[in-house]
Chain A
Amino acid sequence: MIKQKIVLRFPPHVVEQPVIYHLIKDYNLMVNILRADINPRKEGRLMMELSGEDADYRRAVQWLKKQELKIINLEQQISWSEERCTHCGACTVICPTGALNFERPGMTVRFEEDKCIICELCLRACPARAMEALAENANGR
């Protein structure tokens, strides 16, 4: 079994394809959509968690690549600079999934990447700017 959060970036000309349908129907994957930004004739963006058999997942990725879709694994998208972090905790009430949370009683901030859905709210909520989006990120910034 594999469970992987990914971001798919759709070039404008494939935005209208039923990608999710194929992932479920042809590759037997479970799809959990986390965020989506799909517009006709514009680049689209879909964040989701895929789970299923390893072989199915690999075949699905190959198929996606053939469709000219760009696949980015989610964990690598947001980084936490421990050096910049002052452990105030301002981010912990803004992070919607609890990926950024307070470790008690140590009162230090920790970042659990596997819970991050790249909403990017923390980037500007952190006064010390300890959260960074990597260059090749989901919003294409």
Chain B
Amino acid sequence: MKVNRTIEEINEKIKAGKAVVFTAEEIIAVVKEKGLEEAARMVDVVTTGTFGPMCSSGAFLNVGHPKPRIKLNEVSLNGVEAYSGIAAVDLYIGATALPKNDPANRNYPGEFSYGGGHVIEDLVAGKDVHLEARAYGTDCYPRKKYETLFRLDEINEATLYNPRNAYQNYNVAVNLGQKTIYTYMGILKPNLGNANYSSAGQLSPLFNDPLLKTIGIGTRIFLGGGVGYVAWHGTQHNPSAERLENGTPCYPAATLALIGDLKQMQPRWLRGLSYLGYGATLQVGLGVPIPILNEEIMGYCAVSDADLQAPIVDYYGAYPNRESDNLGHVSYAELRSGTITVQGKQMPTASLSSYAGAREIAATLKVWIGKGSFSLTAPSAGLPSVEAGIKFKPMPDRDPEGREA
């Protein structure tokens, strides 16, 4: 490498207010104009961002003890069920949790107007949340019922912990069937009526570090409008997915598990969502800084939407039945143009991930780094990448009696 830079050197420049930072969108033109080497020499950090629905998200809360004490058993927050199978007053509220009495899809397509993602948004917005709890009562935790209102600032801890965020690439969902379907990829009109995708493409964190050469455990990031960290690789992490020559995968691949203090986040970047006929979820805003350690890393950050390919998948038949036939690939440049053609049919595209939001997150992170309030961290350990040879598994199918299926 002709350019070599360490995270310590970058942090010195950040501290001095002299770091040169571009967003992953801006850097494309810079590299085109100056070439990889000169751009790598000039730029210290490239910031990324994404703001999309991420179902595998939620928050651990410690709500403190009432007097007398309670060991929470069945708990709801604003009517939405929270998980209490951990210590007495610890809870986990998951993004897709629903109220016990939600009609769900009994009235198809269900509206899912309030769920766990909305509870998290309300907490972050500082609103009162209604806790109702039942317990079986023990000698040390005698209380059997409790009800209260609380706000985020009144409880001990609230830690956002998202087991799977920031998917590196995602499917483009279409409908080959004869009727409208309601999916986690939005409403899909029949006979290839529309194509929905969900990635910020050239701005998306893991598209800019496709082989995970800089992002690792402990990487400090923008999370939900505040500061968070990469905790681990995410669930369903599949770095072994087929890749293009530029290192980016042409199928959904790597994922991140993220963590951060909910109390310093903003409701603007943690939004409860309702997917018609599917469920409730959380739209998470996150951004990862990529340290430009050398021209190789600069090369990864220079990818543009035209260089990134997403697989087109039929959500009427193939996806629900876990069949692998895919309908080809399309570039993010085509997706973002507003129309694509599949099987000779032209259809409009829509994104579920907000490109405008991703752009704003990358720009915000750039400002934070530029004014010295956000420094970079070297990962304490790497994440499994291509060489780990991870094999992505479906659910086992074995007879509960122990016989072979």
Contacts and interface: CB of A to CB of B under 8 A. Distances in A.
B359 A107 contact: yes
B354 A86 contact: yes
A104 B336 CA distance: 9
Given A90-B350, A124-B276, A108 B111 contact: no
Contacts, number: 72
Interface in B319-368: 336-338, 348-357, 359
Interface string A85-104: 01111111110000000101
Given A104-B338, A127-B283, A87 B196 contact: no
A40 interface: no
B273 A107 contact: no
Contact of B336 (A92, A94, A107): A107
B356 A127 contact: no
Contacts of B274: 124, 127, 129
A129 B275 CA distance: 10
A81 B38 CA distance: 45
> Max chain B CB contacts within 10 Å: which of A86, A102, A106, A107?
A86
Interface in B225-284: 271, 273-276, 281, 283
Nearest to B349: A93
Contacts of A91: 350
Given A107-B359, A128-B273, A88 B338 contact: no
A124 B352 contact: no
Contacts of A93: 187, 189, 193-194, 196, 348-350
Contacts of B113: 129
A71 interface: no
A106 B354 CA distance: 11
Interface in A1-17: none
Contacts of A102: 338
A105 to B, nearest CB: 8
B223 to A, nearest CB: 16
Interface string B161-190: 000000000000000000000000011010
A107 B355 contact: yes
> Max chain A CB contacts within 10 Å: which of B196, B273, B283?
B273
Nearest to A88: B354
A72 to B, nearest CB: 25
Contacts of B281: 127
A93 B350 CA distance: 6
A88 B353 contact: yes
A89 B273 contact: no
Nearest to A126: B274
A107 B336 CA distance: 8
Interface in B20-74: 51-53
A125 interface: yes
Given A124-B111, A124-B276, A127-B275, A86 B187 contact: no
Contacts of A128: 271, 273, 283
Interface string B195-236: 010000000000000000000000000000000000000000
Interface string A54-91: 00000000000000000000000000000000111111
A127 B357 CA distance: 15
Contacts of B276: 124-125
Given A86-B283, A88-B353, A127 B111 contact: no
Contact of B53 (A92, A104, A106, A127): A127
A127 B276 CA distance: 7
Contacts of A89: 350-352, 354
Contact of A127 (B338, B348, B352): B352
Interface string B66-84: 0000000000000000000
B46 to A, nearest CB: 20
B283 A87 contact: no
Contact of A94 (B111, B187, B349, B353): B187
Given A87-B356, A104-B338, A107-B359, 10 more contacts: A86-B283, A88-B283, A88-B352, A89-B351, A90-B187, A90-B352, A93-B187, A93-B194, A108-B356, A127-B186
11 contacts: A86-B283, A87-B355, A87-B356, A88-B52, A88-B357, A90-B196, A93-B194, A93-B349, A104-B338, A127-B273, A127-B274
Interface of B: 51-53, 109, 111, 113, 186-187, 189, 193-194, 196, 271, 273-276, 281, 283, 336-338, 348-357, 359
